[in-house]
Structure 1
Amino acid sequence: MYDLSAIKPKKVPVMLSDCKQRHLLFDLNALAELEDVYGGHADALKEVQTGSFRAIRATLWAGLLHEDPNLTIKDVGAMIAVDGMSIISDAIVDAFNIAVPTASVADQPPDVCSKDAPQDF
C-alpha cells in the first residue's frame, strides 16, 4: 500500500535513444497523469513490471513532463529503443520507489531533526 503523504519527488537519470540524458520525476502531476491513463499509478507500475510497451511509454512520458510539458506520449515513444526497454523500465521502477515509498518505509517516524520538520516549541 502506498502512503501518498510520503511522496518525496527526486529525479532519476535516464538515457533515451536520442542520446540526451533526461530525468524521471514522479511528482504529484506525473502521478495524476498516470491516474488519468490507468485509473491509478500503482496499476501503471504493475503494467511496467510486466514489460508492457504501452505502460512503459506512458509512464516514461508522465515522468518526463516536468522537463517538457509539451511532450506527447508518441514523442516519448520515438525516444525509446526497444533493446533498451529493460534499462528504462528499471529506471521507472527506481523513480517510482523513490517518489512513492511502500507503507513500511512511510510508517517510519519522520526525521524531527530535519530543517523541514515542524517545530512545536
Structure 2
Amino acid sequence: MAIKTVDVVLDKERKLAFPLMALIRLKKEHGIQLADLKDKEKAQDVEVILAIIWAGLIHEEPELTFEQVGYMIDISELPAISEKLSVVFGSMNEKNLPK
C-alpha cells in the first residue's frame, strides 16, 4: 500500500506524508506523538505544529532540520498548511491513531 501524501508549497513543491519512521523520529527527536494532538493546548502550540510538519517532510529529505522547516513557513500560511495536515490525518480515527 502506498503512503498517502498531500502536496504543499513551501520553499518549493513538497509532499507531506507520515510513514511510520517519520512518526518514530517525531517522538524520539521532539517527544511528540500524534495522540498528543487530542490535547487542545499542544495542538495549538507552534513548536508542536512545526515538529509535525517537519515529520511530514522528512520522507523526501531525511536530513531536513526542524529549523530549516521553520524558516520555510510564514505564520500567515499556518491555516492553509493545517488544512493539508487535516487531509493527511483525515482517515485516522481514535482506534488507529498511533500512541
TM-score range, shorter chain: 0.7 to 0.9
1:45 and 1:9 mapped to 2: Cα distance?
23
Q: Do structure 1's residue 88 and structure 2's residue 78 form an aligned pair?
A: no
1:48 CA displacement: 8.8
Deviations 1:58-96 (A, max 9, x none): 001100001101100000001001111111122122212
SS class of match (1:70): coil
**8 Å contact from structure 1 (residues 34, 44) kept in 2:** no
**8 Å contact from structure 1 (residues 48, 56) kept in 2:** no
Going from structure 1 to structure 2, the CA distance change for 1:45 and 1:71 (only over 3 Å counts) comes to: farther
Aligned residues: 95
Give the CA RMSD over aligned residues. Answer: 2.6
Determine the structure 2 residue equivalent to 1:118: none
TM-score under structure 2 normalisation? 0.78
Going from structure 1 to structure 2, the CA distance change for 1:39 and 1:49 (only over 3 Å counts) comes to: closer
Identity rate, percent:
35
2:53 and 2:8 mapped to 1: Cα distance?
10
Larger Rg: 1
2:58 and 2:33 mapped to 1: Cα distance?
18
SS class of match (1:67): coil
Going from structure 1 to structure 2, the CA distance change for 1:103 and 1:83 (only over 3 Å counts) comes to: closer
| Aligned ranges 1:46-57 → 2 under 5 Å | 46=39, 50-57=43-50
TM-score under structure 1 normalisation? 0.66
**8 Å contact from structure 2 (residues 37, 43) kept in 1:** no
Determine the structure 2 residue equivalent to 1:14: 8
Unpaired segments of 5 or more residues in structure 2? none
User: Please, which moves more after superposition, 46-55 or 23-32?
Assistant: 46-55
1:39 CA displacement: 4.5
Determine the structure 1 residue equivalent to 2:31: 38
Unpaired segments of 5 or more residues in structure 1? 1-6, 107-121
